[in-house]
Copies of this chain bind each other. A is one copy, B any other.
């Protein structure tokens, strides 16, 4: 049922119907009530496409994760999914719809298509993956674009992210404070976030050597890698995992190897996903403050949409002490 139909029924023009439904003051109270009642009765729901086309605004935000390297990581990673959940909450609260695009970048046009499609008022990207250059290029001409990820000097696109270097430092400091000195970093050091975590970890470890156990980030691969490493003997006494999911796989491999956590090996994770509090033993981890982070992302984006200036921001990570370290 469209406005024109209602107009015919009410014996007025579509213009009047449009104005009546939007509460435009230049339509008499009488007519307005009459049309409103008729609209309710017949279940009139205006076509949003037409409206958006005319209004040049859509009330929708694109939410996309470029999946450059790790195709699988994002689906299983509760961290990304809860980031998505928080963002969805905030956007819905502000009356925005969400156009979800899981992007497998096949060429460097994907982001152009998204921003030029006219279907969204702004774009939120989760992770830079290996698309840093594309993002930079598009951000130069398209303002309402905010990215969750790392911030490099000279960078043009707006990012919100947590301070991964500091996070790594905190982890190392805590483990050294426990008297551990055979440190192991567990994870794939390629993605920029993880690279920073490792850098901070090494930095704060100072003269203490840091072994790097590099592996794919999916749970099975991590579990296998840790198992294989433990089989070599000469186990580390502390593991800093690049993510909580990796830490949980490590926990299992350690248990299977008959090692006690934290007695024999202390384990520190990263993210503080919901389940981290519910492993056994509960996971000590570096929390990324998603509540603040996602709020900042949305506020920054809305500011950009409104044409106001906005800047990148970094939210500090925080050590969450539980039983595993």
Contact = CB atoms under 8 A, between A and B. Distances in A.
A68 interface: no
A274 B219 contact: yes
B76 A117 contact: no
A98 B100 contact: yes
Name, among A48, A60, A223, the residue most crowded by chain B CB atoms within 10 Å (CB to CB). A48
A251 B282 CA distance: 11
Contacts of A274: 76, 219
Contacts of A223: 278
B78 A48 contact: no
Contacts of A49: 49, 52-53, 58, 117-119
**Chain A binding surface SS class:** helix
Contacts of A92: 101-102, 104
Contacts of A102: 88-89, 92
B118 A47 contact: yes
Nearest to A44: B116
Nearest to A43: B112
Contact of A97 (B89, B100, B255): B100
Interface in A92-114: 92, 97-102, 104, 112-113
A117 B48 contact: yes
A137 B270 CA distance: 46
How extensive is the interface on chain A, given as a class? 35 or more
A296 interface: no
A92 B97 CA distance: 18
A50 interface: yes
Nearest to A220: B277
B63 A100 contact: yes
B48 A119 contact: yes
A223 B278 CA distance: 9
30 contacts: A43-B116, A45-B113, A45-B116, A47-B118, A48-B118, A48-B119, A49-B117, A49-B118, A50-B53, A75-B82, A75-B85, A75-B89, A76-B85, A76-B274, A81-B81, A81-B84, A81-B85, A92-B101, A97-B101, A98-B99, A98-B101, A99-B100, A219-B275, A219-B277, A219-B278, A245-B278, A251-B278, A252-B278, A279-B279, A279-B280
Interface of A: 1, 43, 45, 47-50, 52-53, 58, 60, 63, 74-76, 78, 81-82, 84-86, 88-89, 92, 97-102, 104, 112-113, 116-119, 219, 223, 245, 248-249, 251-252, 255, 274-275, 277-280, 282
Nearest 5 Cβ contacts at the A-B interface: A45-B116, A81-B81, A47-B118, A98-B100, A75-B85
Given A248-B279, A279-B279, 9 more contacts: A47-B117, A49-B58, A74-B85, A76-B82, A92-B104, A97-B99, A99-B100, A248-B278, A251-B280
